[in-house]
Structure 1
Amino acid sequence: MKELGAVVGAQATRFAVRAPQADAVWLCLFDGDEETRHAMQRAGPEWELELPGNLAGTRYGYRALGEWSPTRQHWFDPAKLLVDPYAVELDRRFVQDPRLGIYGEDTADIVPRAIVAAPCAPLPKAAARFARGGLVYELNVRGFTIRHPDVPEHLRGTVAALAHPAVLAHLKKLSVHAVELMPIVAWVDERHLPPLGLVNAWGYNPVAMMALDPGLCPGGVAELRETVAALHAEGIGVLLDLVFNHSGESDTGGGVLSLRGLDNAAYAHAPDGTLINDTGCGNTLDFANPAVRELALDTMRHFVAHCGIDGFRFDLAPVMARGPGFDPAAPIFAGIEADPLLADRVLIAEPWDIGPGGYQLGNFPAHWLEWNDRFRDDVRRFWKGEEGIGVLATRLAGSSDVFGPHQPHSDCRSVNFLAAHDGFTLADVVAYAHRHNEANGENNRDGHGENHSWNNGVEGPSHDPRVLAARKADLKALLGTLFASTGTIMLTAGDEFGRSQQGNNNAYCQDNPIGWVDWAARDSELEDYVAMLSAKRHGRLRSFARFPDKVRWLTAEGRLMTVADWEHMNGHSFIYDAEPEEGTGEGELRVEICRARHLVDIDFTA
């Protein structure tokens, strides 16, 4: 397969794009709004053209001619300006417009143009800056920094804001091992949002898989690269949340923006030709197609080689292993493992989608980490009073019922979390028994209906000191349990100081105070408590990264627990105790859990 995209050479610039079913393809160069078209030459499934000179900085796109027959899954329309699937920078953000899906309507004035990237030497190969058992800090770049009082206004809401000393100081205070950035590549709003006056605030609707969003990262690759370097200098790794499962071109009513107008076979189709919808977004990328796998691999390679990224979290990751059914030995896994740039990266799966057999927790390769929603739900249910001690013990010890028996000292693959971007914030878990998504314009029907949440007697905000004290105790118990658990742990930005979304558990379309982190309202006492927990955990990272084959379960009096003890533990305390690993110099770890007092106490002895 030829190198795709725009490549600047010593004497010329070469353009190549895949469009195997097209009858003709034009390269469109832009000088302002003036467009010049150049016919490309077919070279197998690709089309290519070489133009003299260094064209770095030039704006460009493609147009393709062929059959327009949506019922036959052909969407060729030369009136549509198409974004290069291999673009790395764009000159503007995507906008939703009905013309994107109407045959014959020219879209050059609304579709972003790709920017030819100047040659950039790859960064020196370095080991991933993250160790299993550490703290992953999930954040939305815009929502996390847009209201930060210490970040200069011109930087707020951008990737560069993450390199500001005030942000770095906060991350260091929490002993964060890696930040996980929610999508920062260019996306388009869902069609139903503009009429509601809403926008997509999360970015899980990408069009160009490696093109940085100009709103979040106006400085392009250089901005991301410099921000990653600043985080690395503080010992903090950087993980990118990538969406390889679908694109913003959506279902058959969606627009023609990129792949749909060039190579619609990139999307998975049923035998009758209809689009497969394993994502809930109307279309699914087909990872049985080698070209799709190569696009995904090239995207990851780009971010590692040119930006220094330490790893990736994959949204609805079973899609990557479908062909069409989920296969734990899927080619994409082998492709990553065999790649010298990618084999040592941190790989985190969201191990479920909505397709047949889509729940695959515990079934990804052994070197992958996996979001563990069983931990989230069972720990919430325990502190709500609906789950027993035995289940909690299993979750604390690494969820061996999910990930199977492991040899001594095997790394734990569980990513334990209590809240994530798609759900209640942690503070809302203890303040709302029901979702409140009215602002989303869907009559409160969207979002998860069952959240295993509670409100301590008052739904939503309260000024009752007894209610507030109970909620604070619950939060400390939940957080203490998270930081005491075996495996990698994840905290969503703002949960350390009580961030609320007013009960909205699906704030994807709330680019406003509902979805933004309110730094002025932070609970400093809770924040200090989390910093203390994290500091203690950080000192025993090796213990938390492993399945604790030396764990002992003791009564509060220090006696080894019996079967009878387990049967009568509700409402009483117990101790989760790990002996030190021989030769490490580490001391014992003791974690005391007491439901009756809403207490989690972690003690480390040298």
Structure 2
Amino acid sequence: MTQIDLPTPDQTALLGAQIRDGGTSFGLWAPRATRVELALVDEDRTQHNHDLELGPDGVWSGHVPDIGAEQRYGFRVHGDWAPEDGRRFNPAKLLLDPYARAITGGVDYNGPISDHTAESDFTPDPTDSFQAVPLSVVVEDSPPPDPIAERRSLGDSVIYETHVKGYTQQHPQVPEHLRGTFAGLGYSAVTDHLVGLGVTAVELLPIQHFVSEPFLIGRGLSNYWGYNTLGFFAPHASYCSVGTMGSQVREFKEMVTALHRAGLEVILDVVYNHTGEGGHEGPTLCFRGIDHAGYYRLTHDQRNDYDVTGCGNSTDTSNPGVQRMIMDSLRYWVTEMGVDGFRFDLATTLIRDGHHDVRQDHPLKAAIAEDPVLADIKIIAEPWDVGPYGYQVGGFGNGWSEWNDRFRGFVRDYWRGNIGGVQELSTRLAGSPDIFDHDERPADSSINFVTAHDGFTLRDLVSYDVKHNKANGESNRDGTDDNRSWNCGFEGETDDPGINALRHRQAKNLMATTILATGVPMITAADEIGRTQGGNNNAYCQDGPISWVNWDTADGWHDLYELTQTMLKLRHDHPVLRRERFRHGEQVTGLDGEPTGRKDLAWFGGYPHDHLVELGTEEWQDGSRRTLGMFLTDDRPDREAEDALLIWFHSGDDPADVQLPGGRWGDSYTVLAHTGTEDELPNDPVPGDGILTIPGRTVVVLSVR
């Protein structure tokens, strides 16, 4: 493609709006514009325009006296209309400030929001958009939230992925006027539930200000998940309980303070890979009008968007202004808004160069690694996009953890019985060393999950074989068909007690496997209380009961809640489950410094003919095997006592008699937790070399003496 040489914003350049010196200073990076007007907008949409001055770094700036907090504003950016050169300047379109810290108002999708005419994407539309677009708001500085008392390592964390609105919209203990808001998420009944469950961090689906896609509005739907960002510095306005003229900033900070005081860290799901403007045929609300080629990846002819996100556009992180914006945004959310980490949506897009090639040595990635503000911040990648070589799982290196879709896929397959043995199960349980154990990466590089916002909920994973997305308005064509789910014998809800008991058991097995595996467990909000979306596996456009948490399910799924709580307590109480380094089956020395004959990781089949030795080649290659024992020993030099666990995973339908390893491995074994019913496993210790009967489809955690 043709490279466009753009100046880098000076590090001292003020971007956005900042109250100072008896007024407000404004700055906008628009290096190819010929004129930029600051439009100060009154409540009745009357405008007063001020010309800004261009600096050598491409930043237009100016100071306006007597302007303060809650002032609405936008920009009108002038320049050539030359789509063949990536320039679509059209001053008739009132544009948001990319650095706006608050945004008010919505989009009139029937209004003149496109920079082009209805007849042609390449002919400018002279109609003023001022009545149809949202506005930026000047926000005064305020103190950051209370910091968390102690920021945990990622390896000691349990992540809970949730949606700000949907989590509390129907919460019976949250005051009605706070439901669905930042204040609602910070309410004591919510934090009490999270802390009582045992999670340590909430990962919030996008809360940076977003808009809906026009095609969704045309169907009477909206973008619920929020992966359609329009303001990378602004909390989403509709998540505020009291107003949109800057109150959303204060309320977000108060929410962070409440979560921090409860001991919960805050991780943001951030969408820097594309914006809510879509392709060039879509609305022009901000970035495209400032500089189409400056902010977005374009095809070789410079006329069309080069889309590696599947969302119509892709931000061009090879350009210095975009890199600066992303870094400024990350620092802002850490220093001013108090967050503790980020999950980067479609992170591969962010490390593509000017030729759209993936580069793990990308300057943006280097800047994140080198920035002292981000030094102890959790950095998590969704390590793929839809472009060439976009699948980069395992490639992000030290300093990054990554969503592990290989874990999700195999664990689902294992518990539905669609496997050829247990060899890959052992790999996933050990932290996926085949993917992450290189270049001295830690074991917490793997974010382990079986469900996320995208796909079936845990309850639906054991209740539906196929998706049921008709409510999305695409004739059930949207959403993946690769669900790897099993309905346990009936599609959808049923009164059959046997099927429902099996579903509860399978849900507990999936949850337990996620929590007990080496790596970082991620739980999808309300999976622990049986949340259902009625089989919808792509509920991104469902801002309603399909997506909102129905807290009435908690009583019927209390067994799953208790199992989740128990397994998380085990994870907290046993450092052997939270090891930072990968295990390689190394010999363990005792507290006296002498070899014990045990290993830090060993695998047992448990069948009577192979109980005395670890699994060998023949057992590993047995495609019919459904039972695996994972022996873990705490080998920390500073340990006060040796902590060892033997965890059995049995996905077969029938019970399995397993002979527990004796001798140097253990004198006796005691059941700490399991996914079966109360009376299915013994309460008394079982001696080494003794037989333990594991019920069909069960996880059993044993302490080792």
When the two structures are superposed, what TM-score results if normalisation uses the length of structure 2?
0.83
- Are 2:603 and 1:603 equivalent residues in the alignment? no
For structure 2, the 5+ residue unaligned runs are 1-9, 117-124, 585-599, 653-695
- What is residue 553 of structure 1 aligned with on the other side? 603
Which one of the candidate residues 31, 38, 49 is aligned to 1:20? 31
Please report how far the alpha carbon of residue 216 of structure 1 lies from its aligned counterpart in structure 2 after TM superposition. 1.1
Give the Cα–Cα distance (whole angstroms) in 2 for the partners of residues 123 and 462 of structure 1. 47
Q: Residue type of the partner of 2:604?
A: L
Give the Cα–Cα distance (whole angstroms) in 2 for the partners of residues 311 and 70 of structure 1. 38
- Are 2:514 and 1:514 equivalent residues in the alignment? no
Give the Cα–Cα distance (whole angstroms) in 1 for the partners of residues 90 and 442 of structure 2. 54
Q: Summarize deviations over 1:225-283 as a string: whole Å, max 9, x none.
A: 11111111121100000000000111121111011111222101122212110000111
Give the Cα–Cα distance (whole angstroms) in 1 for the partners of residues 577 and 439 of structure 2. 15
- What is residue 577 of structure 1 aligned with on the other side? 631
Structure 1 contact 88–115 (Cα < 8 Å) conserved: yes
- What is residue 184 of structure 1 aligned with on the other side? 207
Structure 1 contact 199–509 (Cα < 8 Å) conserved: yes
Give the Cα–Cα distance (whole angstroms) in 1 for the partners of residues 394 and 177 of structure 2. 43
Structure 1 contact 571–594 (Cα < 8 Å) conserved: no
Give the Cα–Cα distance (whole angstroms) in 2 for the partners of residues 399 and 288 of structure 1. 32
Structure 1 contact 24–64 (Cα < 8 Å) conserved: yes
- Are 2:298 and 1:269 equivalent residues in the alignment? yes
Give the Cα–Cα distance (whole angstroms) in 1 for the partners of residues 390 and 90 of structure 2. 35
Give the Cα–Cα distance (whole angstroms) in 1 for the partners of residues 578 and 624 of structure 2. 25
Which one is further off, 171-180 or 571-580?
Answer: 571-580
Q: Summarize deviations over 1:14-44 as a string: whole Å, max 9, x none.
A: 1010111222111111221221111111113
- What is residue 335 of structure 2 aligned with on the other side? 305
Give the Cα–Cα distance (whole angstroms) in 1 for the partners of residues 438 and 402 of structure 2. 16
**1:499 and 1:555, CA in 2 relative to 1: closer, same or farther beyond 3 A?**
same
- What is residue 461 of structure 1 aligned with on the other side? 493
Structure 2 contact 144–253 (Cα < 8 Å) conserved: no
Structure 1 contact 536–604 (Cα < 8 Å) conserved: no
- What is residue 237 of structure 2 aligned with on the other side? 214
Give the Cα–Cα distance (whole angstroms) in 2 for the partners of residues 545 and 229 of structure 1. 30
Q: How many residues get paired?
A: 605
Which one of the candidate residues 114, 117, 127 is aligned to 1:105? 127
Matched residue SS, 1:312: strand
Give the Cα–Cα distance (whole angstroms) in 2 for the partners of residues 96 and 559 of structure 1. 68
Q: Residue type of the partner of 1:548?
A: R
- What is residue 664 of structure 2 aligned with on the other side? none
Matched residue SS, 2:514: helix
Give the Cα–Cα distance (whole angstroms) in 1 for the partners of residues 484 and 539 of structure 2. 18
Please report how far the alpha carbon of residue 123 of structure 1 lies from its aligned counterpart in structure 2 after TM superposition. 6.4
Give the Cα–Cα distance (whole angstroms) in 1 for the partners of residues 433 and 443 of structure 2. 12
Please report how far the alpha carbon of residue 336 of structure 1 lies from its aligned counterpart in structure 2 after TM superposition. 1.1
1:332-371 correspondence runs (5 A): 332-371=364-403
1:397-476 correspondence runs (5 A): 397-405=430-438, 410-476=442-508
Q: Summarize deviations over 1:490-522 as a string: whole Å, max 9, x none.
A: 001011111111111100000011111111122
Q: Summarize deviations over 1:452-510 as a string: whole Å, max 9, x none.
A: 11111211111111111111111111111111100001001011111111111100000
Matched residue SS, 2:235: coil
**1:572 and 1:49, CA in 2 relative to 1: closer, same or farther beyond 3 A?**
closer
- What is residue 37 of structure 1 aligned with on the other side? 49
**1:267 and 1:391, CA in 2 relative to 1: closer, same or farther beyond 3 A?**
same
Q: Residue type of the partner of 2:408?
A: R
- Are 2:220 and 1:197 equivalent residues in the alignment? yes
Q: Residue type of the partner of 1:318?
A: T
Which one of the candidate residues 296, 313, 319 is aligned to 1:283? 313
Q: Residue type of the partner of 2:428?
A: R
**1:425 and 1:124, CA in 2 relative to 1: closer, same or farther beyond 3 A?**
closer
Give the Cα–Cα distance (whole angstroms) in 1 for the partners of residues 145 and 539 of structure 2. 36
Matched residue SS, 2:402: strand
Structure 2 contact 422–628 (Cα < 8 Å) conserved: no
RMSD (CA atoms):
1.9
Which one of the candidate residues 557, 568, 571 is aligned to 1:534? 568
Please report how far the alpha carbon of residue 96 of structure 1 lies from its aligned counterpart in structure 2 after TM superposition. 3.3
Identity of aligned residues (%): 40
Q: Summarize deviations over 1:343-385 as a string: whole Å, max 9, x none.
A: 2210000001000000000000211000000000001111111
Give the Cα–Cα distance (whole angstroms) in 2 for the partners of residues 558 and 23 of structure 1. 79
Q: Residue type of the partner of 1:530?
A: T
Q: Residue type of the partner of 1:272?
A: D
Give the Cα–Cα distance (whole angstroms) in 1 for the partners of residues 389 and 38 of structure 2. 42
Give the Cα–Cα distance (whole angstroms) in 1 for the partners of residues 141 and 459 of structure 2. 47
Give the Cα–Cα distance (whole angstroms) in 1 for the partners of residues 612 and 561 of structure 2. 31
Give the Cα–Cα distance (whole angstroms) in 2 for the partners of residues 436 and 418 of structure 1. 19
Which one is further off, 110-119 or 287-296?
Answer: 110-119
- Are 2:559 and 1:525 equivalent residues in the alignment? yes
**1:410 and 1:248, CA in 2 relative to 1: closer, same or farther beyond 3 A?**
closer
When the two structures are superposed, what TM-score results if normalisation uses the length of structure 1?
0.96
Give the Cα–Cα distance (whole angstroms) in 2 for the partners of residues 96 and 578 of structure 1. 58
Please report how far the alpha carbon of residue 164 of structure 1 lies from its aligned counterpart in structure 2 after TM superposition. 0.9
Q: Summarize deviations over 1:552-589 as a string: whole Å, max 9, x none.
A: 11233564222233234745533211111232236112
Please report how far the alpha carbon of residue 92 of structure 1 lies from its aligned counterpart in structure 2 after TM superposition. 2.6
- Are 2:281 and 1:253 equivalent residues in the alignment? yes
Q: Residue type of the partner of 1:113?
A: L
- What is residue 544 of structure 1 aligned with on the other side? 578
Q: Which has the higher contact order (CA 8 A, sep 6+)?
A: 1
Structure 1 contact 132–545 (Cα < 8 Å) conserved: yes
Give the Cα–Cα distance (whole angstroms) in 2 for the partners of residues 95 and 350 of structure 1. 32
For structure 1, the 5+ residue unaligned runs are none
Q: Residue type of the partner of 1:84?
A: D
Q: Residue type of the partner of 1:452?
A: R
Matched residue SS, 2:485: coil
Structure 1 contact 333–365 (Cα < 8 Å) conserved: no
Please report how far the alpha carbon of residue 73 of structure 1 lies from its aligned counterpart in structure 2 after TM superposition. 2.7
Please report how far the alpha carbon of residue 8 of structure 1 lies from its aligned counterpart in structure 2 after TM superposition. 1.3
Give the Cα–Cα distance (whole angstroms) in 1 for the partners of residues 576 and 75 of structure 2. 51
Q: Residue type of the partner of 2:388?
A: P
Structure 1 contact 570–595 (Cα < 8 Å) conserved: no
Give the Cα–Cα distance (whole angstroms) in 2 for the partners of residues 558 and 291 of structure 1. 63
Please report how far the alpha carbon of residue 402 of structure 1 lies from its aligned counterpart in structure 2 after TM superposition. 1.0
Q: Summarize deviations over 1:275-316 as a string: whole Å, max 9, x none.
A: 110000111001111111111111111110111100100000
Matched residue SS, 2:408: helix
Which one is further off, 77-86 or 212-221?
Answer: 212-221
- What is residue 153 of structure 1 aligned with on the other side? 176
Structure 1 contact 75–256 (Cα < 8 Å) conserved: no
- Are 2:75 and 1:62 equivalent residues in the alignment? yes
**1:334 and 1:291, CA in 2 relative to 1: closer, same or farther beyond 3 A?**
same
Give the Cα–Cα distance (whole angstroms) in 1 for the partners of residues 451 and 146 of structure 2. 36
Give the Cα–Cα distance (whole angstroms) in 1 for the partners of residues 147 and 201 of structure 2. 18
**1:122 and 1:483, CA in 2 relative to 1: closer, same or farther beyond 3 A?**
closer
